[in-house]
Chain A
Amino acid sequence: MAWFTDRHFFLLAVAVYGVSAMYSVFLWRKGFRQDDHANYFLLLTAFALHTAAMVKRGFSMAHCPVNNLYEATTFVAWTIVAAYLIIGLLPRLRFLGAFASPVLLAIGVFALMPALDPPHPAGAPPEFSGALVSLHAATSLLAYGAFGLGAVAAAMFLMQQHDLKFHKLRAVLSLFPSIQRLEIVAVRLVFAGFILLTVGLAAGRHLPRPPDKPYWTDPKVVWSIFMWIAYLALLVFRRLRLSSGRNLAVSLIVVFLFLLLTFWGTNLLSPLHHP
């Protein structure tokens, strides 16, 4: 079984995310009318495979597996599905899985690109090592996962809000929670992500770094601070009730899409993260 690597486990997990995404189309067509455990168990299965992949990688390096873009990306996806599995215990929020699985599939397929996972040089220390580095990487990636699930809840909000506004029967027939509840869930996830990102940035600030690589001008740091400000602004707007639920939901999705699309690029541009 030596040939069966952690990447094979992850490949299987992505395949199950794919099955879940296809099943989600079926749920969509059925109007989310009946409580459905099948998708939850599909994502639970994928989570088990995904966890096995991360544990196997972690044990092989004897270190927290967040040392390259592949590992960072899989960690974000793992956070999303883990958070969903907890939230999905509430029957009314179980359909979040139908919105989360296409996102997980997309992240998973992206992570599987070979360029993201170059082999670690034998004998060389991992790029990210030490307790503070682990704290920085783990909390930052957990934050992105929370933002991701927040965006998923926002997508669910938009669909339900549209159905209510335009008198679609699905609005009352579906087992979706109320739009106010969805908004609360999305905001709480983003708030949790914001706290985690704050901890991650604070931990990153205190990491040792070469004198020729400044912290504040590093593209990844600038990008992270920009994301931090963006989410802070969204939370403040929501707190002061300056934006409608719809605008907030659209903003959460747009900001997370921006995060996903620029995460890889800023990592490559960062001398601190990509020496």
Chain B
Amino acid sequence: MNVVVIGLSHNSAPVELRERFAFTEAEIPGALKSLCESGVAAEAVIVSTCNRVEIYAVTALTSDAAVIELKKFLVTHHAFNDTLGDQLYSFAEPHSLHHLFKVACGLDSMVLGETEILGQLKDAYDLALQHGHTGARLNKVFQRAFHTAKHVRTHTNIQRGSVSVASVAVELAEKIFNSLGDREVLVLGAGDTSEKVARALLSRGAKNLIVASRTFERAQALAAALGGRAVQFENWAVEFGNIDIAISSTAAPHHILDRAKLEPLMKHRKNRPLLLIDIAVPRDIDPEVNFLENVYLYNVDDLQTIADDYLKLRREEIARCEAIIADKIKPLLEASRIQPQMDTDGHRLKTLPADA
């Protein structure tokens, strides 16, 4: 019995195609049932997320035959009449196991090393388990994949750091403040990125949000959406005595905050640190203010550089993760008396003889 996977992901197919093959959670049990009853699979798990649709099946058929049958099932189930080429990939053992483990560890994700996929994989496996469509083989394979993902997360830097501007801003705040729990945040300008940063801070516990925008209605709308309060743009400086973090993204053509303006405001802050995040282009805050005591200024390039460095760090970890995966897969392959053939070239369909 061989584990075969067939599917499409953000690496192989555009969203227009992925959405045509997506399964809703409600239809998965029925699909699994018909797949198992058709005799193609003895055990099966369907993973359907915004970035991938995959069927993992344990089959008695040869790998080639199983792939043909699974492809037929996918196309028929979704009433897909167009032609499919490279968008659909498939793997047989040992590549299928390797692929599953890579997916679980976030190595095949759009954001390298992200952890959401592990939860989605667990949900997909639990659904198949609840409806009795998994057996000894898939249970063992998935449990081992989850265990490996945890091991990789603990022992490598693949999930370390933030790779988006908003999350980098939150991380910086956490490096300055003891806790974000009772921090006050001022948002200057109601742009998309500032909203994302504000949301990220609120999700980590920031309590009070103040929004100031040249268009007061926009400030009110954003404040209402985020549970904060709006103030007139002319009055934002009044808030500087109490706030801890300011996010600025106005469309002003010049600096709205410079050293001469901030210096007297800092005197009211009693030496409390102030994090300024300037994501406006052109910049809203004069870089000179960073020379003031207790002020920490980051502009959009600074944040992006940190995010890029994190991503680079994650990429450097891929080899370590692959080594761990190869090590963890070995017992599974030995159990099914299949020797590992982990050649690095071409994970894309290399179907192997079923009992090779």
Contact = CB atoms under 8 A, between A and B. Distances in A.
A235 to B, nearest CB: 15
Given A164-B175, A172-B168, A180 B161 contact: no
B270 A172 contact: no
B178 interface: yes
A70 interface: no
A34 B178 CA distance: 20
Contact of A179 (B161, B270, B273, B290): B273
B306 A169 contact: yes
Of the listed residues A34, A244, A246, the one surrounded by the most CB atoms of chain B closer than 10 A to its CB is A244
A160 interface: yes
A167 interface: yes
Interface residues of B, number: 27
A167 B171 CA distance: 13
A160 B175 contact: yes
Interface string A137-180: 00000000000000000000000100011010101110010111
Contact of B293 (A33, A181, A246): A246
A244 B160 CA distance: 31
Interface in A1-54: 33-34
Interface in B157-180: 157, 160-162, 168, 171-172, 174-178
Contacts of A243: 271
B239 interface: no
Interface in B161-202: 161-162, 168, 171-172, 174-178
Interface stretch (B29-37, B294-302, B324-332, B337-345): B294-302
Contact of B178 (A164, A181, A247): A181
A245 interface: yes
A178 B298 contact: no
A178 B175 contact: yes
Contacts of B168: 172
Interface of A: 33-34, 160, 164-165, 167, 169, 171-173, 176, 178-181, 184, 241-247
Given A164-B175, A169-B305, A241-B271, 6 more contacts: A165-B290, A167-B302, A172-B161, A176-B175, A180-B176, A181-B178
9 contacts: A34-B157, A164-B172, A172-B171, A172-B310, A176-B175, A184-B178, A241-B270, A245-B271, A245-B294
